[in-house]
Structure 1
Amino acid sequence: MTEILIRGAKILAVDAAHGTEPFDGDILIEGATIRAIGPQLSAGPDAQIIEGRGKLVMPGLVNSHTHSSETFFRGRYQGMPLEIWLLYAYPLLMNGAIGERLLYLRSLLLAMESLKNGVTTFCDDFFDPPKHDLDRLGTVFRAYDDVGIRANVSSAVMNIHTLDALPFAREVMPQNLQDQLDFGPPITADAYMDYCKSAFSSLHGKAGRLNFMIAPSAPQRCTRDLLLACYDLARDKAVPFHTHVLETKTQAVTGHEIYGKSLIAYMADLGVLGRNTTIAHSVWVSDDDMRLMGEAGVSIAHNAVSNQKLGAGISPIRRLLDAGVTVGLGTDGVCSNDTSRIFDVMRVAGLIHSVSGPDYSKWVTADEIVRMATIGGARSAMLEQVTGSLEVGKAADLLILNLRNYPFMPLNNVAKHLVYSENGSSIETVMVAGRIVMQAGKLTTVDEDAIFDEIAELVPVHLAEHAELEKRNAVFEPVMAEIHRRSMLQDIGLNRYQGDLPAWPGKN
């Protein structure tokens, strides 16, 4: 079994004993696993020695929420709220599914960029309309296997018509436009369960680091029986029940318009809030919502960058943490963020919560954000026993950063440097399951130049086709704009600063 000894490094373990306080020591890796952490460790005569002097070793970052289906749309959109942006990134009027080679390259590109920027694990909320196809899902798994990343991959599902999952849609959209939106019979809960069970049988656990997860798109987009079936299967297989909830004001209005309560309250009444539940976004949540989430042991993926680009709002992270909710960080898809860098999300999260209220004792700290980017993200992916911290017995998913680089010069507080200064430029080595997948700035598992050449050759035709699709779907933009406008005017009784302002610091 291959041994690697990282010797004399500064170690940021993010474990129960040390938290985000770095210490000096060695790390011994055997095969895929961390076997020892401590001073003056010894290794066998054939061990690979990595000199750690002047280096920081830390857990690989976890991207708690992304969408590989957006990877080719980087740099394409701006100035659109979510409901309008969806028309172009996820068109209502669709062409056929993207070709298999492009599907592979699209998935590969996301994983390549992620690894080069320190993300060793991500949760890909893969969405591939018009149907669920096990072979196509297998293509995504193959890309992630080839590049060497750890991943949870879904095949996101919805079975409620788009217009019935939005407030005001049927009254706002002219009938001639509604008539164009014939998506055929929706998938049934039984059919989706059969598909998922086949995915678990054939793909789950591939290479010891690739898993299938259950992903109902959102509670308002799925029937009750589908949500319940998804939740039961997620619990049975010990995987995330990964969904989108309360990203925008429109979604906040949706719950009250359709169910007479918030979407979180609806999920609680249905019985689909629990340890397995991971909620992407969680922006427009009330105190009652957060209490229910904390009591149930829910996790969220905080998409600090994409929420700002789409004008969705700022998630009340301090109040969520205080309620007992686990928080991970997500990039969301590349075309609502434009990178897959979690370091960017860390920095934005470190800045935006300082406007959550004048009580600066409640602002989110760098130490908390480092935990969100590592062990918090691992917990949201239900992988906290595998990754997210440097501990004996866990997978050797780690980063080696050069401390003799601008983001750390001079060195003051490691966590603050990582959140406010680092952008990924200091990463020298990335390891997943004991395998070095990036070294000296180059991926070791794929030929980056060859992949870039192939993308440059094949993708322009695809993007030209997509441009025509955008033109076809532009007819719906005034409708979505009106839905957005009406939602903004609705009073849902949610004070964005509620609970953040009990008193000025030190005031009785």
Structure 2
Amino acid sequence: MPQTLIKNATLLTMDAANGSKPFNGDILIEGGRIAAIGTNLAARPDAAIIDGRDRLVMPGLVNAHTHSSETFFRGRYEGMPLEIWLLYAYPLLMGPVIDERLLYLRSLLLAMESLRNGVTTMCDDFFDPPAHDLSRLSAVFSAYADAGIRANVSSAVMNVHTLDALPYARQVMPLHLQEKLDFGPPMPAAAYIDYCRSAFATLHRRAGRLSFMIAPSAPQRCTPDMLQACHALAVEMGVPLHTHILETKTQAVTGQAFFGKSLIAYMRDLGALSRNTTIAHAVWVSEDDIAMMGEAGCSVAHNAVSNQKLGAGIAPIRQLLDAGVAVGLGTDGVSSNDTARIFDVMRVAGLVHSVSGPDHDRWIRADEILAMATIGGARSAMLEDVIGSLEVGKAADLLILDLTTLSFTPLNDIAKHLVYAENGSSIETVMVAGEVVVRNGRLQTIDEAAILAEIRERVPAHLAAHAELEKLNAAFHSTMAEIHRRSTSKAIGMNRYAGNDG
């Protein structure tokens, strides 16, 4: 097996013993895994030696929640809450599905940006209407295999009509618009589970670093039997059930409107809230919700940037951590964020909680943010035994950063530099499973220039067609705005933590 020895580096291991406290040492990598951590380590004569002087070695970052289906919509939208934004980024009136080459390219583009900015693992909940197709899922897996990234991948499922998943929708949407929304028969739970089992049989564990996860879109968008079947299969296969819960003010009133209880309580009562459950957002959770989440041992993907861009609110991260909920950081899609940089999310997460409560002793600290970006994200992906910290036996998914850059000059506290000063520009080397995928800022696995040239050539026509869909879906804009207005009016009177994390 080939060996790599990183000598005399500053190590930030994020393990239980050292956490975010740096120390000097060596790392020996063999067979894609960390073989030893210590000082004056020896390697075989044919080992690759990396000089670690003035360099920081840390675990690769984990993007706990993203959507590759948005990758071509960077810089396209602003000033819209989720329910309105969805009309344009995920149109109700859909056109032809994106062709498989563009599907591959949009996934590859997300992986390229992620790796260059230190993300070695991402959880991609992409949307690919109207059906679930193994060939198209395989195209996404192929993109990530070619890029060299580690990923949990799924195509989100929903089988409840959109208007039956939104409070007030049937009341406020004109009948002639409702009649336009014919999505055909909903997917039965059994059919989706068959699809998932086929994905597990053919794609799961591809390249040793790509996994299939199960992704019911949200509890209000799926039937009870769909949620229960998804959860049972997730437990059986040891993978996350990755879903969206309580992101917006509209969703804050959805549970009571449809089920007479919060969406978290609804998940619990269905038996779908457990260690396997990873919840994107959790902005509008109550004290009781948080207690249920902690008892269940579930995880949250905290999307600090997208939650601000879409005006959703601020997740109560301190209370979630206190309850024992594992927290990772997610970018969300690049349409609701505009980058795939976890460094951006780290900085916003480090800042936004400081304005959401007066008790400064409970503000979120840099070492906690780093834990979310690494081992917390690994836990949310159910990969904490493989990645998230530098430990003997774990995969060699790591970053090497130059400590002589402006971001680290003068050098004070490394954790605070990483959260508040660094933006990824100090990254020199990125490894996934011991393989160098980025060296001196350049991807080693693909011809980046050729891929970007092909995207520039092919995507304008796709965006022009999408612009026509935007015009068609603008007919629903006022309805979604009214749903948001009514929900906001009701939500602000509810006893929720959102926007007050103190």
TM-score normalised by L of structure 2? 0.99
**Counterpart secondary structure, 1:481:** helix
The aligned counterpart of 2:495 is: 494
1:234 aligned residue: 234
Asked if structure 1 preserves the Cα contact closer than 8 Å seen for 2:205 and 2:211, the reply is yes
1:248-287 superposed matches below 5 A = 248-287=248-287
Q: Which residue of 2 aligns with 1:10?
A: 10
CA–CA separation in structure 1 for the residues paired with 2:31 and 2:496: 52
Q: For the residues of structure 2 that align with 1:348 and 1:187, how far apart are their CA atoms? A: 38
Q: Which residue of 1 aligns with 2:315?
A: 315
The equivalent of 2:292 in structure 1 is 292
Deviation sequence 1:187-218 (CA, Å, 0-9, x none): 00000000000000000000000000000000
Three-state SS of the structure 2 residue aligned to 1:125 is strand
SS of alignment partner, residue 152 of structure 2: strand
CA distance in 2, matches of 1:131, 1:120: 29
Q: Is the 8 A contact 2:313 2:499 kept in 1?
A: no
The answer to whether the 8 Å contact 1:319/1:499 transfers is no
Letter in 1 for 2:169: A
Give, in angstroms, the shift of residue 451 of structure 1: 0.6
Question: Residue 137 of structure 1: CA displacement?
Answer: 0.1
- When the two chains are superposed, the root-mean-square deviation of aligned CA atoms in Å is 1.0
Residue 245 (structure 2) pairs with residue 245 (structure 1): yes
Query: Which residue number corresponds to residue 87 of structure 2?
Result: 87
Secondary structure class of the residue paired with 2:186 = coil
Alpha-carbon distance in 2 for matches of 1:246, 1:200: 29
Report the alpha carbon displacement of residue 440 of structure 1 after superposing the two structures with TM.
Answer: 0.6
Cα distance in 2 for partners of 1:412, 1:498 equals: 32
* Residue aligned with 2:416, SS: helix
Aligned partner of 2:349 in structure 1 is 349
Does structure 2 retain, via aligned residues, the 8 Å contact 1:407–1:421? yes
- One-letter amino acid matched to 2:495: L
The answer to whether the aligner puts 1:408 opposite 2:416 as a matched pair is no
Q: Deviations over 1:316-370 (max 9, x none)?
A: 1001111111100000000000000000000000000001211100000000000
Q: How does 1:197-208 map to 2 (within 5 A)?
A: 197-208=197-208
The amino acid of 2:457's aligned partner reads E
1:415 partner SS: helix
The aligned counterpart of 1:173 is 173
Q: How does 1:330-479 map to 2 (within 5 A)?
A: 330-479=330-479
Question: 1-side partners of 2:500 and 2:254: how far apart?
Answer: 24
How far, CA to CA, are the matches of 1:309 and 1:65 in structure 2?
A: 16
SS at match of 1:62: strand
- C-alpha distance in structure 2 between counterparts of 1:486 and 1:340, whole Å: 32
State the one-letter code of the partner of 2:60. G
Cα distance between partner residues in 1 of 2:435 and 2:415: 26
Shift of 1:500: 6.0
Q: For 1:372 and 1:446, how far apart are their aligned partners in 2?
A: 29
Counterpart of 2:25 in 1: which secondary structure?
A: strand
Q: Aligned pairs, how many?
A: 501
- Asked if structure 1 preserves the Cα contact closer than 8 Å seen for 2:153 and 2:212, the reply is yes
Alpha-carbon distance between aligned partners in 2 of 1:449 and 1:402, rounded to the nearest angstrom: 25
CA drift at 1:497: 7.3
Give the distance between the partners of 2:7 and 2:466, measured in 1 at CA.
51
Distance 2:488 2:384 in 1: 38
CA shift at 1:39, angstroms? 0.3
Partner amino acid, structure 1, of 2:234: A
Contact 2:407 2:426 (C-alpha < 8 Å) held by counterparts:
yes
Question: Do the aligned partners of residues 499 and 324 (structure 1) sit closer, same or farther apart at CA in structure 2, a change above 3 Å counting?
Answer: farther
Inter-partner Cα distance in structure 2 for 1:292 and 1:499: 20
User: CA shift at 1:31, angstroms?
Assistant: 1.8
The residue type paired with residue 152 of structure 2 is N
Deviant stretches of 4+, over 4 Å: 497-501
C-alpha deviations, 1:135-180, integer Å up to 9, x for none? 0000000000001000000121000000000000001001100000
Change (3 A) 1:500 1:210: closer
2:477 aligned partner, one-letter code: E
Matched with 1:303 is 303
Q: 1:497 to 1:444 in 2, by over 3 A?
A: closer
1:34 corresponding residue in structure 2: 34
Give, in angstroms, the shift of residue 495 of structure 1.
Answer: 4.2
Structure 1 unaligned runs (5+)? 502-508
Distance 1:500 1:344, change over 3 A: closer
Aligned-partner residue type, residue 257 of structure 1: A
Greater Cα offset, 483-492 or 305-314: 483-492
Deviates further, 126-135 or 486-495: 486-495
Tell me how far 1:496 sits from its aligned partner: 3.1
Q: Name the counterpart of 2:484.
A: 484
Q: Percentage identity across aligned positions?
A: 72
The answer for the alignment partner of 1:182 in structure 2 is 182
Letter in 2 for 1:417: H
**C-alpha separation between the residues in 1 aligned to 2:155 and 2:333?**
15
* Alignment partners' CA distance in 1, 2:358 and 2:87: 38
- In structure 1, the residue matched to 2:213 is 213
Q: Distance in 2 between matches of 1:321 and 1:125?
A: 24
Tell me, in whole angstroms, the C-alpha distance in 1 between the residues paired with 2:209 and 2:142: 12
2:151–2:209 CA contact under 8 A, matched in 1: yes
In structure 2, the residue matched to 1:504 is none
SS in 2 for 1:496: coil
Three-state SS of the structure 2 residue aligned to 1:336 is coil
CA distance in 2, matches of 1:95, 1:385: 42
Distance in 1, matches of 2:497 and 2:34, equals: 43
Describe the shift of the 1:499–1:67 C-alpha distance in structure 2 as closer, same or farther (beyond 3 A).
closer
1:228 touches 1:270 (CA, 8 Å); kept in 2?
yes
The one-letter code sitting in structure 2 at the alignment partner of 1:82 is L
Distance 1:297 1:497 in 2: 21
- Which whole-Å CA distance do the structure 2 matches of 1:341 and 1:482 have between them? 33
Change (3 A) 1:167 1:497: closer
Q: Distance in 1 between matches of 2:499 and 2:91?
A: 36
String of CA shifts for 1:81-106, please: whole Å, max 9, x gaps.
00000000000000111011100100
* Alpha carbons 1:15, 1:389 under 8 Å: kept: yes
Does the residue aligned with 2:126 lie in a helix, a strand or coil? coil
Q: Which residue of 2 aligns with 1:50?
A: 50
Task: Judge conservation of contact 2:313–2:498 (CA < 8 Å) in 1.
Answer: no
CA contact (8 A) 1:359 1:500 kept: no
Output the amino acid matched with 1:494: N
After superposition, give the CA deviation of every residue in 1:72-130 in whole Å (9 maximum; x if it has no partner). Answer: 00000000000000000000000111011100100000000000000000000011001
SS of 2:335's equivalent in the other structure is: helix
Give 1:493 deviation, angstroms.
2.3
Structure 1 CA distance, aligned partners of 2:26 and 2:82? Answer: 47
**2:26–2:39 CA contact under 8 A, matched in 1:** yes
Report the Cα distance in structure 1 between the residues aligned to 2:248 and 2:416, rounded to whole angstroms.
30
